[in-house]
């Protein structure tokens, strides 16, 4: 499946599933009512490398970003975010995006990747664990899930670019 760096022209194809996922309020800590321009500023920020997955070629079905998680002397720890159009979920697109972004992060000199707020009920936790992430800790009852009530937010971590990664 083609995965490439996004261009500004890709945003109108990312926005429909971005909006649907954030409005569902069960995975991301962004305001479910985030308007489009604010969403674009969050996802396509200048300090982010943004990627899109196309399946078939020409149809954007998923997107990811890669960015430093901290600044200054800690700027070689990466953060990343992932979204796959729910109409195309469960077909391996998320895993392919994640493997691509992990390789990109390594290629760009990051030494580790951290996810700051993974909702503990998100099935993606299993995906991240299968890719070598561990839960460093959990902020208890931090996220008001629309169906599960107050649930925790995991901080997840994986080393990069070391032998065997
Ligand atoms: C998380 C997400 C990117 C996964 O994308 P996807 O294309 O559906 O995932 P894949 O088809 O590659 O599945 C990857 C694995 O995770 C599991 N998985 C991921 N999301 C799942 C879900 N919603 N329900 C059940 N299993 C899920 C699958 O079982 C699969 O395991 P396998 O590869 O061993 O078969 C996508 O569900 C999504 O955009 N979710 C909303 C936003 C989000 O939660 N982003 C991550 C925030 S931490």
The answer to whether the CB of 98 falls within 8 A of the CB of 115 is no
Whether residue 164 lies inside any domain: the answer is: no
Say how many domains are in the chain. Answer: 1
- What's the CA-to-centroid distance between 143 and ligand 1, angstroms? 19
Which H or E run contains 145?
A: strand 134-145
Ligand 1 near 72 CB (within 6 A)? no
Q: Is residue 41 part of a domain?
A: yes
Answer whether residue 164 shows pLDDT above 80: no
| Contact 76 CB / ligand 1 (< 6 Å) | no
- Regarding the beta carbon of 82 and ligand 1, being less than 6 Å apart is answered yes
pLDDT over threshold 80, residue 25: yes
> What per-residue confidence (pLDDT) applies to 41?
98
CATH number at residue 103: 3.40.630.30
Residue nearest to atom 27 of ligand 1 (CA): 123
Note whether residue 152 is domain-resident: yes
Ligand 1 pocket, residue 89 CB under 6 Å: yes
Q: Give 100's DSSP letter.
A: H
Q: What is the pLDDT of residue 119?
A: 98
Q: Cis omega before residue 56 (within 30°)?
A: yes
Query: Does residue 118 sit within a domain?
Result: yes
Residue 165 pLDDT level (bands cut at 50, 70, 90): low
Q: Does residue 165 lie within any of the structural domains? A: no
- Whether 16 is covered by a domain: the verdict is yes
Strand pairing category for 77-84 and 112-119? parallel
Q: Which residues contact 104 (CB under 8 A, 6 or more apart)?
A: 49, 51, 66
Domain region containing 65: 3-159
Q: Is the pLDDT reported for residue 103 higher than 60?
A: yes
Q: What is the average pLDDT value for the chain, to the nearest integer?
A: 96
Whether residue 98 lies inside any domain: the answer is: yes
Residue 111 lies in a domain: yes
| Average pLDDT over every residue of 34-49 | 97
């Amino acid at each position: 499946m083609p995965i490439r760096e996004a261009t500004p022209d890709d945003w109108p194809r990312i926005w429909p599933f971005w909006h649907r996922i954030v409005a569902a309020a069960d995975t991301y800590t962004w305001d479910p009512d985030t308007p489009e321009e604010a969403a674009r500023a969050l996802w396509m920020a200048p300090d982010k490398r943004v990627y899109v997955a196309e399946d078939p070629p020409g149809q954007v079905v998923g997107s990811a970003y890669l960015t430093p998680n901290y600044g200054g002397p800690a700027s070689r720890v990466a953060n990343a975010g992932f979204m796959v159009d729910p109409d195309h979920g469960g077909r391996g697109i998320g895993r392919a995006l994640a493997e691509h972004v992990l390789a990109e992060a390594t290629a760009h000199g990051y030494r580790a990747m951290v996810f700051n707020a993974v909702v503990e009920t998100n099935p993606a936790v299993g995906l991240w664990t299968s890719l070598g992430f561990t839960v460093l800790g959990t902020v208890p009852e931090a996220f008001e899930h629309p169906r599960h009530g107050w649930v925790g937010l995991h901080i997840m971590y994986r080393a990069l670019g070391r032998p065997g990664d």
